[in-house]
Structure 1
Amino acid sequence: MSRFDRYLLSQLLALFGFFSLVLVAVYWVNRAVGLFDQLIGDGQSAVVFLQFSLLTLPNVIRLVLPISAFIGAVYVANRLMSESELVVMQATGFSAFRLARPVWYFGLIVTGMMLVLMHVLVPESRSALAERSEAISQNVSARFLKDGQFIHPSDGITLYIREIAPTGELLDLFLADDRVVEQRALYTAKKAFFARTDAGPKLLMVDGMVQLLGPKGQLSVTRFADFTYDLAGLMAAPALRTRSMAELSTPELLAPTPALMAEVQQTEASMLFEGHDRIAQPFMALSAALIGFSSLLLGAFSRFGLWRQVGVAVLLLLLVQAIATVSTSVGEDVPRGWMLAYVAPVVGIAIGVFELWLTQRPRRVPKLAVLDTVAT
């Protein structure tokens, strides 16, 4: 790699890293606000919030990398053009394709990062996130219990707990069961525990009493040293968790079996498209970098900047993204639609190469400018 290639590649990677950090922080904060309200509002700790935040990062980074590659390429090209560095290199005989060689290296590096994310980190993080979410949803104390408040986990049930100890003990519990018509049951206990058994969740109460109020007003009181209350009526039994298509590995998506399609409830066409999309989507970073860099090479040096070329680059990137969106909506529903997953990256790379070729063509000089030169 020549000195110029190393210099331009270092500039691209430095700005790519900076913009990636900024965009990831923006995306993460945007999602973390809603996640924080949801988890902390359900009684979860800050550790759980941190776990969920870390598990969502791979998918956020996957979305950000192509945008960062595009912004980095545009920024570097604009700065080098404004400082006449690229103009000098072109004057020494460098063609547009030679100038873009470090951009190819840069795009392939980002593509490699996205390949690791798409095939390894994102599926693993989504699987871990789904398992953690299921564990949280089955945590009875987190979903239904709040100390110092009267809560109603089900129709006809009122529950009050004075304090939830750090060990998980429920101190000074009160439970009113009005589900039976014309009969009311009141349970009080100094301590209680939740236990999950094969028959369903149970509430173990210690040192308390049961007061039953009959339809005619008769009251019966029973004291107990320990008592088990069945919570099966309060909570639905957890269903067996099935994986989503995003959690499957790429080999599973590329060779779907009938059992796997039934598990994720997806068609063979949609699973094949998802598998090939994981292969094709990383190359969107390469196409974005090429479009950003080659679009600015179309413009000549100007003291007012290359804002017109920047606008063209943005419009071309939006066009490629629109093609990707249409390909996804169509490719998931038709046989052999997986081939459409490669359309957007190929079109993006072709646009970048075409722009590089376009810069090689001699530009026409307006007649007025020629006359002015002759007169001078």
Structure 2
Amino acid sequence: MAILSCAVYSIWSVAEVRRIDRYLLVQLLTVFAFFSLVLISVYWVNRAARLFDAIVGDGQSFWVFLELSALTLPNVIRVVLPLSAFAAAVYVAMRMTRDNELVVLQGTGLSYARMLRSVAIFGLVVALMLAFLMHVLMPLSRMQLAERQVQIAENISTRLLRAGEFLQPADGVVVFLREITPEGKLVDVFLSDSRTTGTRVEYSASSALLVPGGQGPALVMLDGVALIYRDGPDRLGTLSFDELTFDVGGLVGPAGRRADVRELPTNLLLSPDSDEMAALGITLPEIRFELASRFAQPLLAVMTSMIGFVAICLGQFSRLGVWRQVLGAIIVLALVQLAGNAASGFALRNAALAWLAFVPVGLGGGVVAGMLWWASRSRGTGWTARARAGGAA
């Protein structure tokens, strides 16, 4: 009879523990979704506002702005998700502390380590989202965004072919067109170039054509005069011309660009072609570190959520101590990130040190273990037999 009673009690305990796991997981995911929505909206709107000034002010259409802002969204989500995981863990732990739910759970025999299992599962869910972003969406969005930016930069006509307006496509360059014919001919062209210190050249032509060239578009001015102003005794010079070519491709930068390792798909990073990577200007340390980072950064979300939850356990019996522990956890996360940034500098110089991408994860795990040990030691709940029974469940 005693054995039957123990068996029934064990089955009931396992069911209750699983119910608690589901309860904690639902609470964490619900709050996480709310914080993610708010933070992504705030962060994306802030980025979109700066992008709107740069794109629309540069003569592009509103649809181009929407396209580019949508392509920046995966990077925004990548930044926000670990922060949302930390905030969700902190908020749920604080609410459960305020409602004495943590005390009740401890009374059932659950240790901090056992309750942290649900937080770890929650962190793994967030890590899977980040892994999908890092391995699939991020490379695709970065590649398409870079291609669109190059296309916009090469489309000089959107910055020059606007009749009746004084335009400044680059610092020190002013362009004015009186009229643009349906055939694309520019009528009454004025161009002022003061990029050279101490010299300003002003071109005036009756007509001009914008033609493509090997190094970018060129402005061919016809039947005009160039006025050259210089600092010195002979300050003004004139030059009449029947045809003069002005390189406008340089006003928007070079047509080409250096490839970014973050744009490459993961399968290419796993088996890179040395000749192809050299042609793209990408080094082996960059490839190895980027590949390691795509696996390490999702795991960091697990650590941030656990650090946030355990931080509340350290200060739950003090009304003022909770916020001190949260602030301490934020400082710890900042230090972990700084250590990761410092380690990345070494990894980008030596391909054999690519494992340094996991330094933040290792440090975060050490912090979680230390905080968990301290919380269990100070509260006396981690080493009781009942807590060990709850952990085994």
By the TM > 0.5 criterion, same fold?
Answer: yes
The alignment status of 1:338 with 2:338, answered yes or no, reads no
Tell me the residue number matched to 2:329: 313
Tell me the residue number matched to 1:72: 88
Tell me the residue number matched to 2:248: 234
TM-score when normalising by structure 2: 0.74
For residues 362 and 202 of structure 1, the distance between their equivalents in structure 2, rounded to whole angstroms, comes to: 74
Deviates more, 1:104-113 or 1:303-312: 303-312
For residues 178 and 44 of structure 1, the distance between their equivalents in structure 2, rounded to whole angstroms, comes to: 23
Q: What SS does the corresponding residue of 1:256 show, helix, strand or coil? A: coil
Pairs within 5 Å for 1:179-198: 188=206, 196=212
The alignment status of 1:9 with 2:43, answered yes or no, reads no
For residues 210 and 312 of structure 1, the distance between their equivalents in structure 2, rounded to whole angstroms, comes to: 71
Tell me the residue number matched to 1:287: 303
The answer to whether the 8 A contact 1:254-1:276 is kept is no
Quick one: structure 1 residues 334 and 347, their matched pair in 2 at CA, closer, same or farther if it must change by over 3 Å? same
Quick one: structure 1 residues 196 and 311, their matched pair in 2 at CA, closer, same or farther if it must change by over 3 Å? same
For residues 316 and 212 of structure 1, the distance between their equivalents in structure 2, rounded to whole angstroms, comes to: 66
The offset of 1:322, in angstroms, is 2.1
For residues 356 and 177 of structure 1, the distance between their equivalents in structure 2, rounded to whole angstroms, comes to: 69
Tell me the residue number matched to 2:274: 258
The alignment status of 1:174 with 2:188, answered yes or no, reads yes
The offset of 1:350, in angstroms, is 3.1
- Please, which of 127, 130, 136 is the counterpart of residue 152 of structure 2? 136
The answer to whether the 8 A contact 2:258-2:281 is kept is no
The C-alpha deviation readout for 1:67-100, integer Å capped at 9, x for no partner, is 1111110111011011100110110111212211
For residues 65 and 239 of structure 1, the distance between their equivalents in structure 2, rounded to whole angstroms, comes to: 35
Tell me the residue number matched to 1:367: none
The offset of 1:250, in angstroms, is 2.2
The answer to whether the 8 A contact 1:332-1:338 is kept is yes
Deviates more, 1:22-31 or 1:5-14: 22-31
For residues 290 and 153 of structure 1, the distance between their equivalents in structure 2, rounded to whole angstroms, comes to: 50
The aligned amino acid for 1:243 is: A
Tell me the residue number matched to 2:14: none
The offset of 1:340, in angstroms, is 0.9
Tell me the residue number matched to 1:350: 366
The C-alpha deviation readout for 1:244-291, integer Å capped at 9, x for no partner, is 112112233344333243234243123211111111111110000011
Tell me the residue number matched to 1:127: 143
TM-score when normalising by structure 1: 0.78
For residues 154 and 63 of structure 1, the distance between their equivalents in structure 2, rounded to whole angstroms, comes to: 32
Q: What SS does the corresponding residue of 2:72 show, helix, strand or coil? A: helix
The answer to whether the 8 A contact 1:58-1:122 is kept is yes
For residues 360 and 58 of structure 2, the distance between their equivalents in structure 1, rounded to whole angstroms, comes to: 42
Q: Percent same amino acid among aligned pairs?
A: 43
For residues 218 and 337 of structure 2, the distance between their equivalents in structure 1, rounded to whole angstroms, comes to: 53
Quick one: structure 1 residues 276 and 153, their matched pair in 2 at CA, closer, same or farther if it must change by over 3 Å? closer
- Please, which of 79, 83, 87 is the counterpart of residue 63 of structure 1? 79
For residues 192 and 105 of structure 2, the distance between their equivalents in structure 1, rounded to whole angstroms, comes to: 84
The answer to whether the 8 A contact 2:259-2:281 is kept is no
Structure 2: runs of 5+ lacking an equivalent:
1-16, 194-201, 227-237, 381-393
For residues 63 and 279 of structure 1, the distance between their equivalents in structure 2, rounded to whole angstroms, comes to: 15
For residues 19 and 217 of structure 2, the distance between their equivalents in structure 1, rounded to whole angstroms, comes to: 68
The offset of 1:15, in angstroms, is 1.4
Quick one: structure 1 residues 305 and 200, their matched pair in 2 at CA, closer, same or farther if it must change by over 3 Å? closer
The alignment status of 1:25 with 2:41, answered yes or no, reads yes
Pairs within 5 Å for 1:142-181: 142-151=158-167, 160-162=176-178, 173-175=187-189
For residues 119 and 192 of structure 2, the distance between their equivalents in structure 1, rounded to whole angstroms, comes to: 71
The aligned amino acid for 2:310 is: S
For residues 334 and 176 of structure 2, the distance between their equivalents in structure 1, rounded to whole angstroms, comes to: 55
The aligned amino acid for 1:173 is: V
Quick one: structure 1 residues 270 and 66, their matched pair in 2 at CA, closer, same or farther if it must change by over 3 Å? same
For residues 57 and 192 of structure 2, the distance between their equivalents in structure 1, rounded to whole angstroms, comes to: 27
- Please, which of 259, 279, 287 is the counterpart of residue 243 of structure 1? 259
The number of residue pairs the alignment matches comes to 342
For residues 346 and 27 of structure 1, the distance between their equivalents in structure 2, rounded to whole angstroms, comes to: 28
The answer to whether the 8 A contact 2:215-2:255 is kept is no
For residues 153 and 169 of structure 1, the distance between their equivalents in structure 2, rounded to whole angstroms, comes to: 23
Tell me the residue number matched to 2:198: none
The aligned amino acid for 1:275 is: L
Quick one: structure 1 residues 279 and 164, their matched pair in 2 at CA, closer, same or farther if it must change by over 3 Å? farther
Q: What SS does the corresponding residue of 1:333 show, helix, strand or coil? A: coil
The offset of 1:142, in angstroms, is 1.1
The answer to whether the 8 A contact 1:82-1:301 is kept is no
Structure 1: runs of 5+ lacking an equivalent:
223-228, 365-376
The C-alpha deviation readout for 1:9-30, integer Å capped at 9, x for no partner, is 1211121122122222222222
The answer to whether the 8 A contact 1:288-1:317 is kept is yes
The C-alpha deviation readout for 1:148-183, integer Å capped at 9, x for no partner, is 12457799x986444669xx865872236899xxxx
The offset of 1:35, in angstroms, is 1.4
Tell me the residue number matched to 1:277: 293
Q: RMSD across aligned C-alpha pairs, in angstroms?
A: 3.7
